[in-house]
Amino acid sequence: MSISGIRALRGECSVSGDKSISHRAVLLAALSPEPSRIRGLATALDCRASVRAAAQLGAEVVQRDGELLIQGAPELPAGEVRIDCGRSGTTMRLMAGVLAARKGASVLLGDPQLMARPMERVAAPLRAMGALVETASGGRAPLRILGGGLAGVHYRLPVASAQVKSAVLLAGLGASGRTVVEEPVPTRDHTERLLVAMGADIEEGWQDGVRSIGIGPAGLSGLDLEVPGDASSAAVLAAAAALVPGSCVTVRSVSANPTRTAFLSLLAEMGAAVEVGDSGRGAEAAADVTIRHRPLRAVEVGAERVPLLVDELPLLGLLATQAEGTTVVAGAGELRFKEVDRISGLTEGLRRLGAEVQESRDGFAISGPTRLRGGAVDSRGDHRLAMVFSLAGLLAEGEVTVAGTEFIGDSFPEFPAVMRSLQ
């Protein structure tokens, strides 16, 4: 794909259902003996992997009139269950928790990109609960799981991860005794919210700045959910509006979950005009968001802010090229273990376009404002980097050619069409 500069972005748009919420809603619904209705499910390819996984668990899954209807299955199908998670790390890590709690043998595998990602971080706590979990060399997939017979544990996350937290909580649904997860740094809480909505025995507490989530063994009621718009997809559009002079973009019905609004706060801190409308009630609320361009200034992001910004940090890298001063990100080593090494991929691509970038072990420093130039950049097959470099084409003097834009469909397949609608 080739992108060249445009004039201001203006108008209203919407984005597909939130990816994080969709994954969790589908997999939790597959565990309930009662029927569930999910509307506005994400169209992302990663979420389709979770829908397939639910069916492979034995759930009855029907898509009809814009709704996903799921009737859960109480037990795994007979024989070894093999579940292809595609390119979705969320599907694999959450499914590990689900399968650890169910009697039977199973294998989790996926595309080569997913098979290269670290999985020992989720395998270790599940082993502590009594599951037999085997990983391949280097702690990677495929995951071979012999589940059932779990006992609750008290587990403190060594690295902030909503996926690992969720896997342990899902395993706790089928464990004897109580399971408690401690997170020193808060992460996305979609799993907890949906568990509460489905009647799980779950408690939250704080002590000395550490959040704990406790869950007891329980069955789940059915889920009736309208999935709000994807916060990370909306962040891409918000960044575009903040970058291009004269822009004003409104994104309708975006997730207003407090653990998902950190990027909007960061944009306001950088100087962009950000307005968030009233949010509704329910397990997952939504609100309209309007972003207007204003001159940007540099910010600093430390480790304590990373978990709630982790998917949006590549966007911050591009914003930093147009901000006055030096933006510094530290404590973000987790970015090296996403679909690709996003720190290396981001810094290499921005340098090719003329940005002043310094890469560190766990982050980067970028000085601005810098007039970007055209050129060829490689997303390395990563959907988020592909969108960042596409936005860079809006600003560059000359055409920017991005390799790997076909992978944008992993999270935001409507991205090209939505961008055209705002021009």
What six digits make up the tokens of 178? Answer: 């109580």
Helices (H) and strands (E) in the chain, counts: 13, 24
**CB distance 18 to 284 below 8 Å:** yes
C-alpha of 373 from chain center: 30
**Strands 323-329, 363-368: pairing kind:** antiparallel
CA gyration radius, the chain: 21
What is the rounded distance in angstroms from the CA atom of residue 50 to the CA atom of residue 122?
17
What is the rounded distance in angstroms from the CA atom of residue 396 to the CA atom of residue 327?
20
What six digits make up the tokens of 264? Answer: 């909007």
Measuring CA to CA, which residue among 417, 411, 415 is closest to residue 49? 411
Measuring CA to CA, which residue among 186, 161, 230, 269 is closest to residue 384? 230
Indicate which residues carry an active-site annotation.
Answer: 311
Vertex 19 angle, CA 16 and 24, to 5°: 130
What six digits make up the tokens of 377? Answer: 């950049």
What is the rounded distance in angstroms from the CA atom of residue 85 to the CA atom of residue 148?
21
Label residue 351 left, alpha or beta by phi (over 0 means left) and psi (-120 to 50 means alpha): alpha
Residue 112 CB contacts under 8 Å (≥ 6 apart), including other chains? none
Alpha helices for 247-341 (secondary structure H): 262-270, 313-321
